[in-house]
Structures are given as C-alpha cells and as structure tokens.
Amino acid sequence: MLFNKLDYYAVLGVFRDASQEEIKHAYFESAQRLHPDKNVAAGETEIFLEIQKAYEVLSNPKRRVLYDATLPPEIEANSVLKHEVIFSRPNLVKLSEQQLVYVLLEIGARTEKESLPTPPLNLCLVLDRSTSMQGDKMDMVKATAIQLLRSLRPEDVLSIIAFSDYAEVIVPASLNIDNKKQENRIQMIQASGATEIFNGLQAGLKEIRRTLDPSRVNHIILLTDGQTYGDEQACLKLAEEAASMNIGITGMGIGNDWNDIFLDALAGKTGGSSAYISKPKDIQRLLVDKFNTLISTFADDVLLEFKTSEHVQLNYVFRLQPEGGCVVLESPMHLGPILRDTPLQVLFEFLVNSPALAEDVVALLNGSLKASITVRPTPVPPIRFNLSREVQVNPSHEPPPTRMLSALSRLTLYRLQERARVSADQGQYDAASRHLQNLATHLLAQGENSLAKTALLEADNLERMHAWTANGSKDIKYNTRALLIADKKEKPR
Amino acid sequence: MIICSNCKHSNLDGAMFCAECGAQLVGREDLTTQNITTKQFEEANKERPSTSDVYQPFDGSDAWGSLHLLDTGQVLPLSVRNEFTMGRISEGQPIMPDIDLSPYQAYAAGVSRLHGVIKRDGNKIIFMDLGSANGTYINGKRLTPNVEQTLNHGDIVALGKLKMQILVRNS
C-alpha cells in the first residue's frame, strides 16, 4: 500500500511545527468538508474520525509533546508529490531600480502513472440552450452529450443541466440511470430564451453536490455561446463556493459572442481554464478531450497559500500546463490540476523593488502548497514553498536555465496578445496594432504562418476600423495559448 | 535597465524577453550548448583575433596610439583613421563598432555592443562613452555618457570590466 504511514500531522495537513491556531484552522476546515452529516460516501466517516482523533491529540500541548516523541524524524521528501523550482537568475543585483525574477514551479505525481488508479468522475454538463444555440450548435452539443453518456464507466456520474433564463435538470446526478430514457430527454432539449449563466451554474452546483465525493473528480463543464448580463459577480461567487468544495469548473465558449475574460475568471477561481470552440464541429472533439483529461486527473487542484515580502510584488502567474491559463492572483491561489502523466507547471513573475535589496537575502514568497489527491481523500502533507534569492553586487554571467528560457519564450507570444488587448481596450489602437505586428513577426519566425496572417489582419483592422474583427481577439488568444503546449502534444493520437 | 536591441524599449533588470516587441534579451549566445574543453577554448581565443573581420592594423609603425589590454597583454594599435568606435559585434546588430572587442571576453566583461569612441584631435586623445550599459571608467572614475574626456598617456580605461591602458605616441 502506498499511503500507509499517516501521522496526525499529515491527517490534518499541517507542518510539524504548526501553531495551535493553524492546527485548529486545519481541523475545522477538514471537519467541515468531511462531516458525516454532509457526506454519504463510503469510507468518509472513518476519515472524519481519524481527523478528530488527530485533533484531540495535537490540540492538547501535553499530549502533543508525548505524541511527537513517538514520531520518526521528519522526512523532508514528500511521498506523494515531487516538485522542482527553477529560477531565472541565480541572484539579485544591488541596484537602485526595480528588477524582475521569474520562477518556474513544476509539481507532479511521484509514483509511476501505471500504478495509480483512475479516479471515477462526478461530472456535470451545464448547457446553454438560448435561442442563439439553435441549429448546428445545439445538434452537435446533443450528440456529444449522448456520446459522453454512453462512454461512461459504471462508476462515473454524469448529470446534465440545460439553461436559458431558467435552468432545467435534464439528467440527474445518479449512479444507475436508464440510458435510453436519458438520451431521449437530451434529444428533447429545445433552444429558446436568453442566456443567464448564473441559473445554469447554480443548478449544476446543486446537482453535482448530490454525488459530491472527494475521491471523485468533481467537475462542471459550462458550455455557452453568449454573454450573460448582470449576474457575473454572482457567478464568480458561485465559482468560489465550488472551489471551496473542490469542484472544478471549465468554461467552453462557442463562436464569437461570448465573454472570454469572464469565463477565464470564472474557471480561474477553481484552477480551471476556458476553451474556445470556433466551429460547431469542434464541440465534440474538445468535450471528449476534456473528458479524457478529467479521467487522468491525479490532483484536482493545487492550492498555494502565500505571503510575499514587503517591497516584493507578485506580478503575474501563468499555468503553462496541463491547460494553459492565467492564475487569479489571490491567496490561497488555485494553481490548477495535476494529471497522472502531466505535471503542473506554473510560472511566477516577481517584481523586486530596490528597498528590498538592503538585506543580503530577499525572501520573495513564503507559503505552502497543498494538493488534494483525487484517489485519496485525506490531505497529503503540505509542501513548504519558500522562494528567496541572495543579493550580490555584480550580476551573474551564468546563462539562464534553458527550460526557463523556452517556457518564457512561449509565454511571450501570449503576453504580446494580452498587451494588444489591453491597449485596444484603452483606445490605443496604434499601440495594439504594433503589438500584433510584433506578434506576427515572432509567429512567422516559428512557422505559424496562418496565425501570423490572422494577427496581421487584426493589426490592420485595428488601425483602420479601431475594432477587432468578430473572431479576431479570441482566435489569437486561444491559438497563442495552444502554442504553449504545442511542442509537448505533437505525438500522434 | 535592459535596453532591447530590437526596439530600444527599456525593460526592467531581470527581464528575459522584451515587454514591447517580444525579442529575447538574454542568453542569446547560449541557446545552443556545446561541450568545449578548456584547451579548445583557449585555442579558439588565440585564433580569433587574427581572423579577417577583427580590426587589423598594418604593422603599427604609423599608429598614433595603441590600446594595451591588461588582461591578455595584447596591444591594438590605432592608425590610419582618426576615430574608432569600440564595442563588441553580436548577431543581428545594425551598427558595427570599428574595434570589435569580443575576442577579448568583452561579453563577460560587460562591454556594450556600441560602448564608446576614441578619437584623435590634433595632439589630444579623446574618449567618449556612448551610453553603454555598464559604463566606462577612466582611472577608476566613471565617465558621464556622451561627454568627451581627454586621455593622457598611461591612463587606464575600463569598458565595463575590460581594462586597457592608453599608450599615446607623440609625433
């Protein structure tokens, strides 16, 4: 058995030197999540009792000392996860100006992929059925939903919600369902009404909670083709609620009339990301891809709790893989999932202000990484995540690490696109157009000719019409994002 | 500050790609790695100054002055022309310096691509820093960029950390 040596600290998910406060906090958090009143899944109650036992011992200082004495010395290596940190430079330089440091974090499963069980799914499809979905899009969505339903394994749960200005449960979350009957219900979905994402999301969350189980991959896929009006903030609140219950959200937008920034923010709250479906015929491929990704989940989400030091600013955080996407800058930070065969890679950009350089060592960030492993409901011990750099008088001449360079060079294209978006939103169309032209130059150099052409067309359009073409900004955004992992996924299917 | 060689945008220190145009700012030369033994390395360095693209004076007999590189002991005579820009040649550079210092570890010493200019005005030798990244020091004192400074025989000029002695021949 892999996970047999669990001490009380690991059970609560705290460090050995945790304060009483931290222990209390961790206990309340897991107790809330695993309380028998809320959870029906088999085995949960035992875990809950274990957490209580752990808390009873550790919350009492005398008993804690006695217990500590029985523990073997702490082994630093984490038995479940391995992680690696790469810095862009070996040290900071004593300068009177601001400087940047990049940090690349890779965190993955320590065990070989073959020996890990595949987790069962608890998946909810939240489908937009507003009037605009009529025709190709709706037919394709229905066909794909039926295909997914048929491809479920006996242990998987799939619920389906259709929403317009109200939401309707098409397929309820349940383990043994009559496929024939459900397929008929899916076929009956009619397109009509407006798009109100909040309604759909709320119904989806309610449905998925009926079979909520930490040992499953709990995930909502929201499929929409339109803008939602006025309920964005409420949606983001729901996403936060989902994140606190370890439910992931993926947003998929069809066509050109949906709000990609909103869907990114929504999915980002749970460590997920959004995807762009330019043509109805891609719906099937993208949904099935997503389905397969979910099946190979190792950890739903990696949570980073952190503090940066004074004079150090965390500028930008981007997940390079498994699914590229911006990470929302807040603590705790949802970094994203770890797949069985694909570790999580996240790039951090720190801005160091000169007052910080008065010290010999600058602590960039202090925090801890927590992952909830899908096949294992008890918390794994957190990983300490402290980043610091020495300050030296002279710059180092060491070349930057190759992996850092290649990660940044891929990300640079995406960021150029982001800058073009920002400039255009501020009405600086010539700046936006210049960014796109620069982007096109790099794309051409990399042989991405058709995308380069799109970028040039948009640059031209921005200059003359002061607006993006219908698909332009999304085409460029999601295609440059796809380039982030392009060189990894070249192997034929 | 790192000035992008492609678009002249000033990027923060530590940046690796230009925020404006996306050009790579650091580690260009190191993109492909190769294992070189110390011996090969030294040989390569010995050979390179004699290649044709490096500034080559005739025999130095009609030179009005010369640069004595303190680290390697080599002497570069200055002759024929009255003005020489100094720097190091790297790929994709629009303006080439007259004197390429890259064979003398200019990159490691922090010499800019177009670092400074040395010229003769009558009997005076004048040096001017052209806004280099790491500055020019004359006898340990940093020059203000783009301001001319008279040099005397025996002055030590440091381009970044590359030190050289100015030898003036009085005709």
Return the residue in A390, A392, A405, A406 with the most chain B beta carbons within 10 A, the one to mutate for interface testing.
A405
Residue of chain A minimizing CA distance to B27: A399
Q: Report pLDDT for A115.
A: 64
CA distance A190 to chain B (A): 47
Give the per-residue pLDDT at B151.
87
Are residues A192 and A281 located together in one domain of the fold?
Answer: yes
pLDDT of residue B127: 92
Strand (E) or helix (H) holding A155: none
**Is the Cβ of A397 closer than 8 Å to some Cβ of chain B?**
yes
- Residue A438 to residue B16, Cβ atoms within 8 A: no
Interface test with A, best of B11, B21, B25, B29 (most A CBs within 10 A): B21
Q: Which residues lie below 8 Å from residue A331, measured CB to CB, with a gap of 6+?
A: A304, A305, A306, A307, A367
Question: What domain range is A32 assigned to?
Answer: 8-70
Residue A45 lies in a domain: yes
Does A126 share its domain with A269? yes
Residue type, B110: G
Tokens of A303: 């949570």
Can you give the C-alpha Rg of chain A in angstroms? 24
Q: Which domain holds residue B139?
A: 57-168
Q: Contacts of residue A100 in chain B, CB cutoff 8 Å?
A: 12-15
- Give B29's contacts in chain A (Cβ within 8 Å): 399
Residue A314 within a domain = yes
Least Cα separation, residue B10 to chain A (angstroms): 12
Asked if A412 and B22 come within 8 Å (Cβ–Cβ), the reply is yes
Can you give the pLDDT at residue B45?
58
The DSSP annotation for A91-123 comes to EEE--SS-EEEEEEEEEEESS-GGGSPPPPEEE
Q: Is A423 on the interface with B (CB under 8 A)?
A: no
Q: Do B13 and A93 touch (CB under 8 A)?
A: yes
- Does the residue B158 lie in any domain? yes
How close A324 comes to chain B (CA, Å)? 19
Out of B21, B22, B30, name the one closest to residue A399 (CB).
Answer: B30
Share of chain A above pLDDT 70, in %: 91
Over residues B18-47, the mean pLDDT reads: 66
What pairing do the DSSP bridges indicate for beta strands A248-254 and A274-277?
A: parallel
Q: Token pair 């607006």 is at which residue?
A: A467
- Determine, yes or no, domain membership for B118: yes
Q: Please indicate, yes or no, if residue A64 is contained in any of the structural domains.
A: yes
Q: Which stretch of A122-131, A186-195, A369-378, B74-83 has the lowest confidence by average pLDDT?
A: A369-378
Record: contact B13-A102, CB cut-off 8 A: no
Q: A408: which chain B residues are within 8 Å (Cβ-Cβ)?
A: 16-17
Enclosing H/E stretch for A226:
none
**Which of A103, A393, A402 is the best substitution to test chain B (most B C-beta atoms within 10 A)?**
A402
Q: Inter-chain contact B13–A409, Cβ cutoff 8 Å? A: no
Tell whether A155 is covered by a domain.
yes
pLDDT confidence of residue A472: 80
Write the single-letter amino acid at A28. F
Residues A99 and A26 grouped into a single domain: no
User: Hey, what's the torsion of the CAs at A84, A86, A92, A96, to 10 degrees?
Assistant: -110
- Pick A214 or B50 by higher pLDDT: A214
Check pLDDT > 80 for residue A5. Answer: no
Average pLDDT over residues A20-36: 79
Helix (H) or strand (E) holding A466: none
Whose CA is closest to A348, among A334, A327, A376? A327
pLDDT band at A220 (very low <50, low <70, confident <90, very high): very high
On whether both A379 and A428 belong to a single domain, the answer is no
Note whether A159 and A256 are same-domain residues.
Answer: yes
**Residue A213 binned pLDDT confidence (cut-offs 50, 70, 90):** confident
Percent of chain B with pLDDT over 90: 7
For residue A153, pLDDT over 50 is answered with yes
Instruction: Assess whether A160 and A283 both reside in one domain.
Output: yes
Q: Rounded mean pLDDT of A79-97?
A: 82
More confident residue, A55 or A179: A55
Helix, strand, coil percent values for chain B (each to nearest 5): 15, 35, 55
* CATH classification of the domain holding B101: 2.60.200.20
Roughly what angle, to the nearest 10 degrees, separates helices A472-484 and A429-445? Answer: 40
pTM of the entire predicted model: 0.68
**Six token digits for residue A257:** 């009339």
Q: What's the structural domain count of chain B?
A: 1
pLDDT in tens, A382-404: 788 888 888 888 777 777 888 88
ipTM comes to: 0.70
Tell me, yes or no, whether A152 and A245 share the same domain: yes
**Residue A490 banded pLDDT, cuts 50, 70, 90:** very low
DSSP A133: G
pLDDT tens-place string over residues A261-318 = 888 888 888 888 888 888 888 888 888 888 888 888 888 888 888 888 888 888 888 8
Taking one residue from A and the other from B, the number of pairs with CB-CB distance under 8 angstroms is 59
Same domain as A155, residue A182? yes
Residues of chain A numbered 71-110 and touching chain B (CB < 8 Å): 88-89, 92-93, 95, 97-102
pLDDT at position B78 is 83
Residues contacting A454, CB < 8 A, separation 6+: A472, A475, A476, A479
Q: What is the mean pLDDT of residues A364-368?
A: 85
SS3 of A458, please?
helix
- Judge: B13–A101 Cβ closer than 8 Å, yes or no: no
Count of C-beta atoms within a 10 Å radius of residue A305 = 14
Among the listed ranges A29-38, A243-252, A418-427, B62-71, which one has the minimum average pLDDT value? Answer: A29-38
Mean pLDDT on B131-148: 89
Pairing verdict, β A157-163 and A167-171: antiparallel
Please tell me if residue B26 touches chain A, with a CB cutoff of 8 Å.
Answer: yes
Contact: B22, A442; criterion CB under 8 Å:
yes
User: B122 lies in a domain?
Assistant: yes
Q: Would residue B52 count as lying in a domain?
A: no
Residues A102 and A143 occupy one common structural domain: no
Q: Are A406 and A88 in contact (CB under 8 A)?
A: no
What is B4-52 written as a DSSP string? -TTT--EE-BT-SB-TTT--B-S-GGGSS-----HHHHHHHHHHGGGST
Residue of B9, B11, B17 best to disrupt the A interface, most CBs of A under 10 A: B17
Nearest Cβ partner for B27 among A101, A400, A435: A400
Top mean-pLDDT range of A236-240, A338-342, B43-47: A236-240
User: Is A489 a domain residue?
Assistant: no
Higher-confidence residue: B145 or A33? B145
Q: What's the pLDDT score for residue B46?
A: 59
Same domain flag for A319 and A375: yes
**What pLDDT, on a 0 to 100 scale, did the predictor assign at position A275?**
86
Residue finishing a domain among A295, A321, A344: A295
- Residues A277, A211: one domain? yes
Q: What is the C-alpha separation between A246 and A236, in angstroms, rounded?
A: 15
The total of structural domains in chain A comes to: 4
Q: Which of A351, A371, A392 is the last residue of a domain?
A: A392
Using the Cβ of A402 and the Cβ atoms of chain B, whether some distance falls under 8 Å is answered with: yes
Asked, for residue A3, whether it belongs to a domain, the answer is no
B38 falls within a domain: no
Inter-chain CB proximity A98 and B13 less than 8 Å: yes
Mean pLDDT (whole number) for A210-231: 84
pLDDT at A102 over 80: yes
| DSSP character string of A367-406 | EEEEEEETT--SPPPPEEEEEEEEEESS---PPPPHHHHH
B27 with A439: Cβ contact below 8 A: no
Average pLDDT value over all residues in chain B = 78
Which residues make beta-bridge pairs with B161?
Answer: none
Which one is predicted more confidently, B47 or A376? A376
* A291/A304 same-domain check: no
CATH number at residue A367: 2.60.40.3670
CATH of the domain at A205: 3.40.50.410
Using one digit for the tens of pLDDT, what is the confidence trace for B96-130?
888 888 888 888 888 988 999 998 888 888 999 99
Segment among A40-54, A142-156, A297-311, A341-355 with least mean pLDDT: A40-54
* E strand or H helix that includes residue A77: none
Put simply, the answer to whether B19 touches A419 (Cβ < 8 Å) is yes
